[in-house]
Chains A and B, each alone.
Chain A
Amino acid sequence: MRKARIRLMSRLMTWLWLLLPPLTLVAISDVPAQASGFLIYDLSGQALGRASAVSASVDEPAAVWFNPAALVYQPGVRASAGGIFVTAQSRFSPAGGGPETTTDRGNYVLPTFFASARVAEQVAVAMGVYTAFGIGIQWPDGWLGRESTISASLKTVAFNPTVSVKLHPRFSAAVGFDAVRAAVDFTNGLPALVGGSVRLGGGTWGYGANAGVLFQVEPELLHVALTYRSRVKLSFDGKADFRPGNPDFAPTLADQPGTASITLPDIITLGVMFRPRADLTLTFDTNLVLWSTYDRIDINFVSAPDRAIVPNGHDAFTLRGGVEWAVNRWPGLRLRAGLIFDQAAVRQADLGPGLPDANRLDGAIGVGYSMGHFKADLGYLLVYFLPADATSGREGPEGTYHTLAHLVGLTLAVSWP
């Protein structure tokens, strides 16, 4: 009986995995980043409601992202699909006065798909397809900082197979492999005397790995988690389409191939879950994101002048706190809330309009309801970027960036048995 169940689960998993790529390629999307730099950490509606402070208590297939070591504690076969709707807008106030510039409001949907199966008492396998990094911003064509950025888009989709092993009833570990498909599409203005713009685009694959551990110090009472995701180098081979406003520059700015590379940062997360009462879960996570990998982007052309973007990213912390209350009066109902402080990855002197980063204060609320094999979770996150002064004028005009974003996440999950 037990063997038959395992075989059935395995077949289900195979079916799910075959289904995953076509369903979840939709996850390639660009968004204004909602964690430091251009990291989009909040990948499920359930986690979103707790400010994604879930690494030590994640009980959904999205554990593939948050902490795969938790997967082995999730019985049966589980799958979740959902999406994060993001809407964001930035505003720039020039240092020397003058009219403010506002970006187009960016509205994005980031689909996610996760599936897991515990194929043995001590082993679970899982797959996740999601977007964890992205940039999407569109400034007016004629704005002050057009030579730095008119539009910037980085789209990624990660394919993340994972194995989770229970090494001890209270301790589990997991490893995974990340294959990241990425596409960039940047447009910036050419120098004033040249006029017009250049559009750069390309795609590539990058690869990385991840690992996690979960220690149940006191099961269902106190858990501690540690996860690591490696950096992923994305070496783009792309093309440039130069559109100089002054035709005299066209022969020297021929459309041509170009290369550039961006390294997605390592992420280290330390999380704690404490359950003072059976119906109340408190969680706290700290992310250390090694944005120092995002120090310099050299865009090299065959004949046109090369260009370098030098954000000089620095390692940044994110502090997350979340709470979940199981409402006893309505079994299956969960209410959630959370707070985030997110440190900027780019210093003021290096700030540019392609990624108007800033320290952020976020507030989250959420609700979840489960019934039988099904579960639905809805979360909302308000992301308030503290005003960020660009002070050097090196990567863009001097002035102050203001950004406000809203995230709404909805996840539907099914589990069997």
Chain B
Amino acid sequence: MSAKIGKKTGKKTGKTGRTVGAATVAAWLVATGPGPSCTPDIAQDPVPVSMELDLQASPPRAPQPTSLLINPMTGKIDFSITGLVIPANPGDCAMLTTGPSAALPISQAECELDVYLQTLDGFPTVTPAQAPATADLDPDTLTVGANVVVVATKGQSVVSAITTRATSDHNLSVRPQRSWTLGELYWVGVRGYDNGVRASDGREVVGSPTQALLKQETSLTCGADAPASLDPSCPAFALLRQSSSTDAAAADSLFALEAIRLAYVPGWQVMSQIGGLPRAESAVLWSFPIHTSSVAELDPTVGLVPRVTAIDEIHIAVQGPVDSATVSPFVVAQQFGSILIMDLSAAQAGDLRAGFPIVDARFEPSDAGGFDGGEIVIKGHDPFVAGHQYGLFFSDELHDPSGGPLVPSPISVLLRLRGSLTDETGHSTISTVSDADAALLEAGRLQLATLFDDPSFAALTGVTRESLVYCYAFPLQVAP
């Protein structure tokens, strides 16, 4: 009775009513069954897993970080592109995110983090790249360089020093073994379909409709330069009209997509020519730039933490050049300086003299080839106390040779926030920070908040939340 269609081949295995003979056979089949057997047998196949790229979802389901958040006019990260207007002053976040008249649909902490991000001309060097999928991915298929390809555009090379991970919340996580390079633009491609990444249950992983449109090699607007001149038969326009409330909305979406498609053209090129990942095999492709300002890097998950090389010496990694003249230690009652180290254990015990140990500080450029940066070296006049909790604070008096201040690393920013990193149920209040990380950081944030909220601390040290470019507290232990 039914014309069953073979899923794989798309060819009919029977043709209803093509011939009298077929109709007769079909009639016999019907006659042997009850009425409901007249209903055609419509195949219901499993849905493939998709690497998501949905910019209109709320919140957007798209890879992060992404160049799409860079304002082409200012060259900086700009969340207003997504419709989220973040204030310039982090102090305004509390008012805009809490209470019945909250104007922003995000937490105070996330707002403060976004204020920081909007000061950058690219993403932080320690930001993990993430791409959402519709199901858990098989970690064994996330092969670096084969199925997950990262190309550094300026370096014109495939980045092999990365690790990939399938997170429990359906994300592919890609992070450098150390950190992304300042000023670099990265393209990340994920191979899908027959020979690429697989879901944990073995299903094929494909792209998304948006990605399909961005893969198009010809103009999505069919050459039209304004919405008014769009040809209704233009295939992409015809497609978007089906899912848009109005033709005008479809046209607006189409022109926005066309701009992105054009921006993707060099990406397909580098990914194909350098990364060996052809457009047709790419389930998702995206790019993100790294900011150009020097940064004292901090990311405990990859070992980017202060390195205690001797009982009286601490090294802090900096990516990018530093003006040595701006590297000056804090000396109680003499100079604020740009480098402050506190023995938090001693200070908490009421010993303020021991709480602000006298140190020297200098910048040591790295002699490792290809790495632009070095270390801030802090040398105590006296040995530090093993087992004591120390706090390290760098202010924005620390500059690079061009005179620009260093920018903070995200964890420093998280530790200096006013807003809580966890909600009353213990969940993270920041979408890009996991619950576990948020819980750990919240403990440190609360500890440091007692300092930052104390006016005498700022008066004594010159350090405020806003001036901090590095902030970390740790129990001092000499590396063996």
Contacts and interface: CB of A to CB of B under 8 A. Distances in A.
B353 to A, nearest CB: 64
A161 interface: no
Contact of B207 (A23, A109, A111, A248): A248
B45 A247 contact: no
A136 B23 CA distance: 12
Nearest to B16: A153
A203 B211 contact: no
Nearest to A194: B239
Interface stretch (A217-225, A233-241, A277-285): A233-241
Interface string B1-44: 11101010010000111111001100110110001101111111
A185 B40 contact: yes
A251 interface: yes
Contact of B44 (A104, A183, A241): A241
B423 to A, nearest CB: 31
Nearest to A238: B42
Given A192-B238, A241-B44, A248-B206, A183 B39 contact: yes
A98 interface: no
Contact of A239 (B30, B35, B42): B42
A200 B42 contact: yes
A136 B17 contact: yes
Nearest to B133: A251
A10 interface: no
Contacts of B238: 191-192
B450 interface: no
Per DSSP, chain A at the interface is strand
A241 B42 contact: yes
B75 interface: no
B429 interface: no
Interface in A241-262: 241, 243, 246-252, 254-256
A30 interface: yes
Interface residues of A, number: 50
Interface stretch (B47-55, B115-123, B312-320, B396-404): B47-55
B193 interface: yes
B39 A109 contact: no
Contacts of A138: 15, 18
A305 B242 contact: yes
Nearest to A204: B39
A269 interface: no
Contacts of A314: none
Interface in B273-293: 283
Contact of B43 (A181, A191, A241, A249): A241
A30 B48 contact: no
Contacts of B215: 248
Given A155-B38, A196-B10, A255-B45, 6 more contacts: A157-B38, A199-B42, A201-B41, A203-B36, A239-B44, A255-B44
Interface of B: 1-3, 5, 7, 10, 15-20, 23-24, 27-28, 30-31, 35-36, 38-45, 47-50, 134, 193, 204, 206-209, 211-213, 215-216, 235-236, 238-239, 242-243, 283
